[in-house]
Amino acid sequence: MVTAIKTTCAYCGVGCGILATPTGDRGVTIAGDPDHPANAGRLCSKGTHLGDTVGLEGRLLHPEIAGRRTSWDRAIAHVARRFADTIARYGPDSVAFYVSGQLLTEDYYVANKLMKGFIGSANIDTNSRLCMSSAVAGHLRAFGEDVVPASYDDLDDADLIVLVGANSAWCHPIVHQRIQAARAARGSRLVVIDPRRTETCEGADLHLPLRPGADVALMNGLLAYCRAEGICDEQYIAQHLNVPEGFWDIIDACDLWSTARTCDVPPADLRRFYELFARTPRTVTMFSQGINQSLRGTDQVNAILNVHLATGRIGKPGAAPFSITGQPNAMGGREVGGLASTLAAHMDFAPDTIARVQRFWSAPRIAEKPGLKAVDLFRRIGEGKVKALWVMATNPAVSMPDAGRVREALAACPFVVVSDCIADTDTSAFAHVKLPAAGWGEKDGTVTNSERVISRQRPIFAMPGEARADWWIVTQVARAMGWRNAFAFERPADVWREHARLSTYQNGGTRLFDLRAQVALSNADYDAMAPFRWGGRPFADGLYSTPDGRARLLPVAQAPLQPVLADWPMTLNTGRYRDQWHTMTRTGLSSRLSVHRQEPLVELHPEDALALGLAEGALARIATPQGASVYRVHIEPGQRCGEAFAPIHWTDRQSTGGRTGLLSRPLVDPHSGQPGFKATPARVEAV
């Protein structure tokens, strides 16, 4: 009898455990792992149909230079030489890696070590920049460390769950099922704050369809209400928080009526929410891309954290702010420090930290300042300042904002390497070298989900053709560049142990991210690793990761809302469909996943559709200052008037229309560098 292999889902940040049973000839049956803490046996449609997506159709199976098959030896030597030549001629900041939340933690660790410790630049950024970097920046500002202080168990224990900018029914379905189960079991209440009336709102106690970008006003108004009602925890504030001068002046200036006007929601509904929150100590506020993908994303995150900190609703069962991530291993990337703005293992670029990490790695040339964040990185490539780029497991030619300009940058870049499991992507069309990477079902390593649970992804199949693990590919290039000893990894467990050791290199023991129990793990124990959560219940003792141990309340005020412009009278919001993932390189292989939505639709409020002369099923062009693309119209009363919604998934390879990446502006949050995908000025017109 074939034994089921315990692994983790390829898709979202819920991080569901999977039992995969090979059935021969790359067949596999998929079931939910009843023992995994994230899903207890449940799977959503994407996870359930993973078996449809593991065939070899479209796979990149051999290394290629200039479109011709070559050997691994030649490909690695070529990549190493071109990177070394570029660095020698133009300096370390003339090269960059653009990586992905699809990478395993071991892949991420090796790439980060090579760029920051050996090449000597921090020009390694990730598509997680587009996903949750505002949450990272908000956590750092408030807690002194990027820690999500919640777990899915808190959803079971909460009496009130507030979802802000999160369509969990579609984007985190197993978490949504858990919320529904908790509601059925204990009558917990659900409030959804989202400009759109999504499926998540069905059965909710309250939906607040706020004006896009008004989240700071809403949360500051909530805190003002709590303070006026005596709900703030004065003892907790005095003992555990730093309150900057002027903080309460900002809050006290927020009254319910003006907040309702700013948010464009009925005052009675706003009061209902505030009253519910005030009388419910066990509250979890879960937030996602509607908060993060904003030009004020970090302030919006801190406005949420402020409310939980000031009411003492943190570090307790059923009471926490909860940032839920998009990708399967965005959290693992954060843990290794694989963002241009962090150095390594939850450490930043402070002088003593740089010295400590340099010692640990015996690094010849360590990065001493943050590198280029994603949007700036592609801009600098376009300006000719970054001359060699390695893209790993992601498709920026589709997914970056202003994707048309990103393509021009890739076309102009003198040397582009793409390592991917897919042969032809919109990005690999620009590659000078293509390196075949292992895909889900072949990879071997770890991922971390939204609740800090680390799980193994285990191989189900042998790697096909000449595909190799990402950590192996990076290791070979590092060795070819002359750093053999520092990259002597032979297996993912070697990388894992070093990552665990580096996590213990901290100053004064204030950081929660610490994997010291993993340092001496044997290879067999690594193979058998059961899911575990790091960090326990963060901040239960009221001690934060700041130098003085206190969390900070951030004085964030509502920024002026985007005016309606004569040429661009509508606002374009973007997001996921339930059954598709990213640019559909995997989910597009499953016909069963195409049934839910077969093409990209622009969703319009009935009044807008009427005014524009657009009927259900008609074709419409969405135009923005960045570009234009055509969609089929879906009339949706759950849209706010004046706002359109379009999905992010479609690419040139699948469709001539629905190219949403071409439409978004390359504008970013000033603290996190995360692009604001959710509110692009737009025009919709009949085709």
For residue 153, the minimal CB distance to ligand SF4 (Å) is 17
Spatial CA neighbour of 221 closest among 671, 562, 556, 563: 556
Q: In terms of CB distance, is 9 or 604 closer to ligand SF4?
A: 9
Q: In terms of CB distance, is 70 or 177 closer to ligand SF4?
A: 177
For residue 137, the minimal CB distance to ligand SF4 (Å) is 25
Number of other CB atoms surrounding residue 635 within 10 Å: 20
For residue 29, the minimal CB distance to ligand SF4 (Å) is 15
For residue 44, the minimal CB distance to ligand SF4 (Å) is 3
Contacts of 652 (CB under 8 A, 6+ apart): 398, 426, 659
Dist. CA 10–CA 20, nearest whole Å = 12
Here the tokens at position 610 are 């009427």
**Which residues of the chain form contacts with ligand SF4 (CB under 6 A)?**
9, 11-12, 14-16, 39, 43-44, 46-47, 172-174
Here the tokens at position 179 are 């919320």
At 553, which amino acid appears?
Answer: L
Phi, psi for residue 674 in degrees, rounded to 5:
-80, 130
For residue 519, the minimal CB distance to ligand SF4 (Å) is 28
Q: In terms of CB distance, is 172 or 499 closer to ligand SF4?
A: 172
Dist. CA 339–CA 132, nearest whole Å = 11
For residue 215, the minimal CB distance to ligand SF4 (Å) is 25
Q: In terms of CB distance, is 4 or 80 closer to ligand SF4?
A: 4
Q: In terms of CB distance, is 171 or 417 closer to ligand SF4?
A: 171
Which H or E element spans position 275?
helix 267-278
Here the tokens at position 221 are 């108004």
For residue 600, the minimal CB distance to ligand SF4 (Å) is 20
Q: In terms of CB distance, is 116 or 176 closer to ligand SF4?
A: 176
Q: In terms of CB distance, is 453 or 551 closer to ligand SF4?
A: 453
Dist. CA 160–CA 168, nearest whole Å = 16
Here the tokens at position 496 are 């894992």
Instruction: Tell me the CA distances in angstroms from 350 to 29, 93, 114, 199, 357, one per residue in order.
Output: 49, 19, 20, 45, 11
For residue 101, the minimal CB distance to ligand SF4 (Å) is 12
For residue 394, the minimal CB distance to ligand SF4 (Å) is 18
Spatial CA neighbour of 204 closest among 215, 193, 195, 214: 193
Spatial CA neighbour of 453 closest among 545, 536, 524: 536
For residue 282, the minimal CB distance to ligand SF4 (Å) is 24
Instruction: Tell me the CA distances in angstroms from 368 to 88, 118, 355, 503, one per residue in order.
Output: 18, 12, 9, 19
For residue 552, the minimal CB distance to ligand SF4 (Å) is 33
Dist. CA 338–CA 483, nearest whole Å = 20
Phi, psi for residue 176 in degrees, rounded to 5:
-65, -40
Q: In terms of CB distance, is 94 or 457 closer to ligand SF4?
A: 457
Dist. CA 165–CA 286, nearest whole Å = 9
Q: What angle do CA 645, 650, 653 make, to 5 degrees?
A: 160
Q: In terms of CB distance, is 12 or 103 closer to ligand SF4?
A: 12
CB 357 within 8 A of CB 337: no
Dist. CA 416–CA 164, nearest whole Å = 38
Closest residue to ligand SF4 using C-beta atoms: 47
DSSP state of 55: S
Here the tokens at position 559 are 């920024």
Q: In terms of CB distance, is 14 or 644 closer to ligand SF4?
A: 14
Q: In terms of CB distance, is 40 or 412 closer to ligand SF4?
A: 40
Measured N-to-C along each axis, helices 470-480 and 105-113 cross at an angle, to the nearest 10 degrees, of: 20
Contacts of 383 (CB under 8 A, 6+ apart): none
For residue 31, the minimal CB distance to ligand SF4 (Å) is 11
Q: In terms of CB distance, is 16 or 388 closer to ligand SF4?
A: 16
Q: In terms of CB distance, is 12 or 307 closer to ligand SF4?
A: 12
Burial 325-335 (b: 16+ CB within 10 A, else e): bbbbbbbbbbb
For residue 589, the minimal CB distance to ligand SF4 (Å) is 15
